[in-house]
Amino acid sequence: MADQDNLVEALALPRFFPKFPWFGGDLQTLRNRLRPPRVTLAAWPGISLAFDMQDGSGDQLLGDLHPATENTQRPLIILIHGLSGSAGSIYIRVTAQHLLAAGYPVLRLNLRGAGPGRGRTQHFYHAGRSDDLHQVIGQLDGRLAGNGIVLVGFSLGGNVMLKYLAERAHLAPVRAAVSISAPIDLAMTQRCISLPRNRRYHDFLLRELKAEHPSPDDITSIIDFDNRIVAPANGFADAADYYRRSSAGPLLGAIRRPTLMIHAGNDPWIPADMYRDLKIGNSRHLKLLMPRSGGHVGFHGWGLERPWHDLAIGQFIKATLAGR
């Protein structure tokens, strides 16, 4: 707890307390759906970009680039969405607005087959498809990435990002990175989302997955979907093999770029134990912020106009660029 307090203080962050009436992990998680925030990016017109994947599929990843409104030396921030999301997801747009207002250029990236790419690709994103992110970054020229790159990944996108950083280690052309609510142990996450108390979450996610993928009607669980759809389409023996080879948790020690992981102690989808068991206390590169509350990609804090994780993202980037 002392380490958490010290990090909050070092980043000049307020302590997180849930905003009334969004108490508990479930209400924190559902707040954007129950009461969608007003967000507009009209002040920062976007430019559509397409990134060709070099695997012979003809697939492209699509994104929306919002240049900074002023000539700035600030790095490009790439936002990566989660499962069943897209560059247009509310949490992506809210974070983009916050960072654009702070003067950063932002690229809202759709993973393969997501958003406007749905139905237009041979292959589809999954939690371990980190090479797609590697290829996107490799296609950014000096006009876009001349001041460096910062990665921000949410939920599944956070796992993809962390896996990429570990695989590239000191070769990653990244100045800083932040993950929010990342499922770094996919098997534990699957077991949690399948609990009876999470049935509505599970069924919602399964419907979204089946809408994204043509799949048989008799698939009735996420693990069945991963066994029958994701694993064979991506060279995994089965769902267990997919989870084992795609989870970022066992790889985190290889990360060599300043990286902040944000997770809530009451995330109803992703057990906090997978973060409590990490041995990162002496790491020069990894930091963990884990308040008791916040839900899954929630962090709607008392007295705050923005999600608390957006404040943390901005402060961590500022501190890292300043060499603190």
Encode pLDDT of 244-274 as tens digits.
Answer: 999 999 999 999 999 999 999 999 999 999 9
What is the structure's pLDDT at 97? Answer: 97
Q: 307 in a domain, yes or no?
A: yes
Confidence of residue 305 (pLDDT cuts 50, 70, 90): very high
Confidence of residue 278 (pLDDT cuts 50, 70, 90): confident
Confidence of residue 281 (pLDDT cuts 50, 70, 90): low
Encode pLDDT of 3-44 as tens digits.
Answer: 788 899 999 999 999 999 999 999 999 999 999 999 999 999
Q: 273 in a domain, yes or no?
A: yes
Q: 80 in a domain, yes or no?
A: yes
What is the structure's pLDDT at 279? Answer: 78
Q: 158 in a domain, yes or no?
A: yes
What is the structure's pLDDT at 142? Answer: 83
Q: 126 in a domain, yes or no?
A: yes
Q: 237 in a domain, yes or no?
A: no
Residues contacting residue 7 through CB under 8 Å, at least 6 positions apart: 287, 288, 289
Encode pLDDT of 95-147 as tens digits.
Answer: 999 999 999 999 999 999 999 999 999 999 999 999 999 999 999 988 889 99
Which CATH number characterizes residue 127's domain?
3.40.50.1820
Q: How does the average pLDDT of the chain come out, rounded?
A: 95
Q: 107 in a domain, yes or no?
A: yes
Q: 74 in a domain, yes or no?
A: yes
**Structure tokens of 94?**
């809210």
What is the structure's pLDDT at 139? Answer: 96
Residue 2 has pLDDT above 70, yes or no: no
- The tally of domains found in the chain comes to 1
Q: Which residue segment(s) compose the domain that 254 sits in?
A: 2-185+247-321
Encode pLDDT of 160-209 as tens digits.
Answer: 999 999 999 999 999 999 999 999 999 999 999 999 999 999 999 999 99
